[in-house]
Amino acid sequence: MARVLIVDDEPSIRRLLRQTLERARYEVIEAGDARQALAAMEQDRPDAVLLDLGLPGRDGLELVPVIARKPAVALLIVSARDRTDDKVAALDLGADDYVTKPFDSEELLARLRVALRRRDGSTATIVQSGGVAIDLTTHAVRRDGEDVHLTRKEYEVLALLAEHAGRVVTHRHILQRVWGGHDPRIEYLRIVVRNLRQKLESPGAIGSLIGNEQGIGYRLRV
């Protein structure tokens, strides 16, 4: 049973999250501020943290890199802050995902499951997304069993998303990793993603293989 630490200063939110998590058979720990959260991290060693940013005394963003330094712990931001710069900052600092309040309980649980799978051991060699298989060892990409030819940049973007499957990867992080020391415009990335969708998505498919988080980044759906 995975252990989840809820960090939120509002008792009503903590109660709702506890009920949601316990119904899904998670063990739950609670903290109402940053000090309690850091103590719980050391004493209770949670497998995942649901972190609010609006904490008393210390902004939750300051806790993100502290928690993210523990590679075995999944970190989801659950916050009423819906500004793009807050989301980008949290993800760039190491959060696995960002859920805005008010949230849908089933969506929250789904994102938590994905984050826990990512943190549970090493990254999979072959990542499956719908009918697409991405082999991160051989660099082979197949759709419905057929080889797909990708350009170097297309594969590098896809592989990066596959390494973080189910998690939002910010535009800034993709640009830095794929284009390195150059100063590319985001239009280059949009062109690569458009080409990937055309090559990988089956005609008539419902929903996009590569999800767009408006103004933030992209997510490979799993």
Asked if residue 84 and residue 65 are part of one domain, the reply reads yes
What is the tens place of the pLDDT at every residue in 98-110? 999 999 999 999 9
Asked if residue 108 and residue 131 are part of one domain, the reply reads no
**What range does the domain containing 185 cover?**
126-220
Q: Report residue 185's pLDDT band, with 50, 70 and 90 as the boundaries.
A: confident
What CATH number is associated with residue 140? 1.10.10.10
Asked if residue 115 and residue 10 are part of one domain, the reply reads yes
What is the tens place of the pLDDT at every residue in 59-103? 999 999 999 998 889 999 999 999 999 999 999 999 999 999 999
Asked if residue 158 and residue 92 are part of one domain, the reply reads no
Question: Which of 101, 119, 137 finishes a domain?
Answer: 119
Question: Averaged over 165-184, what is the pLDDT?
Answer: 85
Asked if residue 107 and residue 13 are part of one domain, the reply reads yes
pTM, two decimal places: 0.74
Domain count, the chain: 2
DSSP class per residue in the chain: --EEEEE-S-HHHHHHHHHHHHHTT-EEEEESSHHHHHHHHHHH--SEEEE-S--SSS-GGGGHHHHHTSTTSEEEEEES---HHHHHHHHHHT-SEEEESS--HHHHHHHHHHHHHHHSSSPPSEEEETTEEEETTT--EEETTEE----HHHHHHHHHHHHTTTS-EEHHHHHHHHHTTS---HHHHHHHHHHHHHHHSPTT-SS-SEEEETTTEEEE--
Asked if residue 176 and residue 112 are part of one domain, the reply reads no
Question: Which of 70, 103, 119 finishes a domain?
Answer: 119
Asked if residue 69 and residue 175 are part of one domain, the reply reads no
Asked if residue 84 and residue 144 are part of one domain, the reply reads no
